[in-house]
Amino acid sequence: MTTELQFYDAAKAALAKAVKVDEVKKIHDKAAAVKAAARIAMDKTLEADAAEIRMRAERRLGQLMEQQKQTVGFNKGGKSEHRNRVKTKPGKVTLTEAGIDKNLAQQARTAAKPSDQEFESKVAAEKEYITAPKPVTVSEKPKPKKPATPRRRVPAADSKPPSVSAEDIALKRFTTVAAGLVQLTRNRSAERFAKTALPDDGIRQLAKLFNDLVSIRNEQVVDRICGSAEVSTEQRKAEHAALDRAAS
């Protein structure tokens, strides 16, 4: 707090004594540097004081520029007839020599136009804006993009989807389950599965089902053998061998 007061008081006193544009320019640049440092350090009070000094320096600079313009004026520079160098008249200083560019000169002229009351209102508003607590905004997390839904192919108006009966579905499911059961029990004895949690009624039901399937398949083979007069000897031997294997 002591450092802040020292800067503020010293800068205001220096502005009150400054009678040259280059003196005011130094105070302006110092205030701008302090304002930037205070903003990084998140010192709102010092930042507001530095902003006030900077605004007052711009206004004082504009007033001095107007006074000098009406009295001795600014030297625009001129070239000597014998030497290629800029000659300046005593008592006149160019804006460039004072380190004042076009932007700062325009800001200074703008700051010097309002009345004292209007200027003080602007200073108070700027300091209030700097020191006022800013609302904390929580950035929304970007919503994850939904994967693109593949377009379904629309069938033609005259085409009809193939109908699947419940019997076909049951047959496919039974084939899948039975194939897995065959793969699981291959080369394994019945004792390996004696402790199964499957009830005895379920085991007997499966045994009866498989026995019935074997009988039906055997009858189909016999029907093909008896119903075809042109069955080759090799095909009959193969079918008889299949019957023998099923019976064993």
pLDDT at 219 over 80: no
Is residue 170 one of the residues assigned to a domain? no
Is residue 84 one of the residues assigned to a domain? no
Domain of residue 123, residue span: 2-76+90-131
Is residue 248 one of the residues assigned to a domain? yes
Which pLDDT value is given to residue 40? 92
Alpha-carbon span 244 to 248, nearest angstrom: 6
Mean pLDDT of 162-186: 78
Which of 25-34, 77-86, 192-201, 214-223 has the lowest average pLDDT?
77-86
Which pLDDT value is given to residue 122? 92
Q: Indicate whether 7 and 97 sit together in one domain.
A: yes
| Proportion of the chain above pLDDT 90, given as a percent | 10
Q: Indicate whether 127 and 46 sit together in one domain.
A: yes
Q: Among candidates 103, 1, 98, 86, which has minimal Cα distance to 46?
A: 1
Which pLDDT value is given to residue 129? 92
Q: In total, how many domains does the chain have?
A: 2
214: its two tokens: 């074997």
Which pLDDT value is given to residue 118? 93
Q: Which residues of 15-47 are buried (b: 16+ CB within 10 A; e: fewer)?
A: beebeebebbbebbebbeebbeebeeeebbebb
Q: Indicate whether 10 and 127 sit together in one domain.
A: yes
Which of 57-71, 95-109, 146-160 has the lowest average pLDDT?
146-160
Is residue 235 one of the residues assigned to a domain? yes
Q: Indicate whether 20 and 124 sit together in one domain.
A: yes
Q: Indicate whether 29 and 127 sit together in one domain.
A: yes
Mean pLDDT of 208-219: 82
Q: Indicate whether 30 and 109 sit together in one domain.
A: yes
pLDDT at 239 over 90: no
Q: Indicate whether 125 and 245 sit together in one domain.
A: no
Q: How many CB atoms lie within 10 A of CB 6?
A: 10
Q: Indicate whether 127 and 232 sit together in one domain.
A: no
Is residue 52 one of the residues assigned to a domain? yes
Which pLDDT value is given to residue 17? 85
Average confidence score pLDDT of the chain: 77
Q: Indicate whether 126 and 200 sit together in one domain.
A: no
Which pLDDT value is given to residue 230? 52
Mean pLDDT of 21-26: 87
Is residue 61 one of the residues assigned to a domain? yes
Q: Which residues of 207-216 are buried (b: 16+ CB within 10 A; e: fewer)?
A: eeeeeeeeee
Is residue 72 one of the residues assigned to a domain? yes
Greater pLDDT, 121 or 220: 121
Q: Indicate whether 119 and 208 sit together in one domain.
A: no
Is residue 186 one of the residues assigned to a domain? no
Parallel, antiparallel or unpaired: strands 78-79 and 86-87: antiparallel
